[in-house]
């Protein structure tokens, strides 16, 4: 079975992430979305909340699974039986760091990274920007699923 991992922080999932996951799901037998547990960084949503939102948002795809991981991405890939990591590239500015990680990962383990160009509609989009938009009263409806936007509003505008 050809499996690929789509890793990230997903705090929270955006339509840009979903575009990459959906396209990857057409190319591989199974796609595993890997949510990084990063103990040195406090997110807006807990890992459980991020997973729950990702599961709801990817439920339309029969071959997408959502799991969390900590430590090295390559160890997670090995544990999942995945030989490929899929990364979305929004712009040239993403490329430098992504290339470094891809080269480190292939050196560590032989896990390949495939870069997928982001849909231009989402080339400026990031979870951080969406959080800022919602925090200051902007409309994030083009950028995240509706149920994610509602959770953002509840979390960020409760005071």
Integer Cα distance of 158 and 75 in angstroms: 39
Toward ligand PNS, which CB reaches closer, 58 or 105?
A: 105
Helix (H) or strand (E) holding 7: strand 3-8
88 is a contact residue toward ligand PNS (CB under 6 A): no
CB of 60 or CB of 108, closer to ligand PNS = 108
Q: Does 54 participate in binding ligand PNS (rule CB under 6 A)?
A: no
H or E element, residue 116: strand 112-117
Consecutive H or E run containing 135 = helix 127-135
Instruction: Reduce the DSSP state of residue 110 to 3 states and report it.
Output: coil
Q: Which secondary-structure segment (H or E) carries 35?
A: strand 30-36
- The stretch near ligand PNS (CB under 6 A) out of 49-57, 98-106, 110-118, 141-149 is 98-106
Q: Tell whether residue 118 is a contact of ligand PNS (CB under 6 A).
A: no
- Looking at the Cβ atoms of 31 and 73, the one nearer to ligand PNS is 73
Residue selected from 37, 72, 89, 133 as contacting ligand PNS according to rule CB under 6 A: 72
Is residue 112 within 8 Å of residue 28, measured between CB atoms? no
Residues of this chain that interact with ligand PNS (CB under 6 A) are 7-9, 36, 72-73, 101, 104-105
């Amino acid at each position: 079975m050809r499996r690929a991992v789509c890793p990230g922080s997903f705090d929270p999932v955006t339509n840009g992430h979903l575009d990459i996951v959906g396209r990857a799901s057409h190319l591989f037998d199974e796609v595993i979305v890997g949510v990084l547990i990063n103990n040195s960084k406090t997110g807006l949503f807990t890992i459980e909340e991020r997973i729950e939102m990702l599961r709801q948002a990817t439920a339309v795809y029969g071959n997408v699974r959502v799991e969390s991981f900590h430590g090295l991405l390559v160890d997670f890939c090995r544990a999942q039986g995945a030989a490929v990591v899929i990364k979305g590239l929004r712009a040239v500015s993403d490329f430098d760091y992504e290339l470094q990680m891809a080269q480190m990962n292939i050196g560590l383990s032989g896990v390949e990274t495939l870069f997928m160009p982001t849909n231009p509609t989402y080339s400026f989009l990031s979870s951080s920007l969406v959080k800022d938009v919602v925090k200051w009263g902007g409309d994030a409806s083009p950028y995240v699923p509706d149920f994610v936007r509602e959770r953002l509003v509840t979390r960020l505008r409760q005071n």
